[in-house]
Structure 1
Amino acid sequence: MQLLRAPSLFVTICSLAIGALAAPSPVPATNATLVSQVTHVGRGTFFDPDGGIGACGFVEQNTDHIVAIGSQRFANGGNCNQWIQISANGKTAFGLTRDSCPGCGVNDLDLTPALFQKFAPLDVGVITVTWNFLPFGFQPPS
């Protein structure tokens, strides 16, 4: 009787070991996921792109919801075309990273006039913004 239990026990142990090896391991969070979990607070200003080409290589218009981020955070273009969720004065809007702002602090944003006006009139000039990157591939609601 003992001989029959030993192979059965061996098969059970092997099955458990194979199951443990085949189980999926946790997937580490991507950089975009980690970055989107960080909330930044900085100054919000506006710039006039006037149809020029931004640091990401795209033509920018005043009517676009474009964001220029501080050169320290621009990451040599690694954040190009990444959406940002911005809040200020009790309002929230989305802006697309398409430019670098050499005069901005690390947490500051420079917005196109159309985007800045979602939060305040242009004559205000400077607002406090709270913002975070959204994962690559995010599309704001229409």
Structure 2
Amino acid sequence: MYRTALFLFAFFASLLAVIASPVPVANGELIDVEKRLTRDGRATWFNVGLGNCGKWNVDTDLIVAIGKGLYDRNGGSNCDQYVEIVNTKNGKKAYGKTRDSCPSCSDNDLDLSPSLFQKLGTLDQGVLSISWHFMNKGFKP
């Protein structure tokens, strides 16, 4: 009788623990839900090369550098993940691939390759107001 009661208690306790499992978090940053978070920030542009993800790119590639703090908290897990970016002033939308981090960017800001920046505005503008979010892993525009 004691064994049966103990078994049932352990079984239901385990079941409740599985049902109540928290959302995956790494260093305080939600991992799987990140793509659903829309951020409002600024976009600047930079000349690309060897990015923090360890891959070479050229200025004609549609490349995104996310804030270094966000990159570090996510352990670089956003490398090669696409980002949807919208210029909040003119409504233009573009997609870029995360390949680098930006030391001077906040979590809400992005640094874009010249070709990606030009899909949203002109290089002369230098800074754009944007909203953006990560796309699902495996997404390709």
Shift of 1:36: 1.7
Paired residue secondary structure (1:98): strand
CA contact (8 A) 1:33 1:135 kept: no
CA shift, 1:35, in A, is 1.4
Q: SS of the counterpart of 2:33?
A: helix
TM-score by structure 2 length? 0.74
User: Is 1:97 aligned to 2:98, yes or no?
Assistant: yes
Correspondence list, 1:38-57, <5 A: 38-49=37-48, 52-57=49-54
Structure label with greater radius of gyration: 1
- Give the counterpart letter for 1:76 in structure 2: G
Indicate if the aligned counterparts of 1:82 and 1:135 stay in contact, CA closer than 8 A.
Answer: yes
TM score, norm. by length of structure 1:
0.74
User: What residue identity is the alignment partner of 1:38?
Assistant: L
Distance 2:23 2:68 in 1: 25
Shift of 1:76: 2.8
Residue in structure 1 matching 2:70, options 65, 70, 73? 73
1:117 alignment partner AA: Q
- The answer on whether the counterparts of 1:33 and 1:134 sit within 8 Å (CA) in structure 2 is no
Tell me the number of residue pairs that the alignment of Structure 1 and Structure 2 aligns: 115
User: Which runs of 5 or more residues in structure 2 are unaligned?
Assistant: 1-18, 25-29
Instruction: Return the letter of the residue paired with 2:70.
Output: R
Structure-2 change in CA distance of 1:119 and 1:136 (3 Å): same
Identical pairs, percent? 47
Distance 1:33 1:87 in 2: 22
TM-superposed deviation, 1:78: 1.2
Q: Secondary structure at the match of 1:86?
A: strand
From the superposition, tell whether residues 32 and 91 of structure 1 become closer, same or farther in structure 2 (CA, over 3 Å): farther
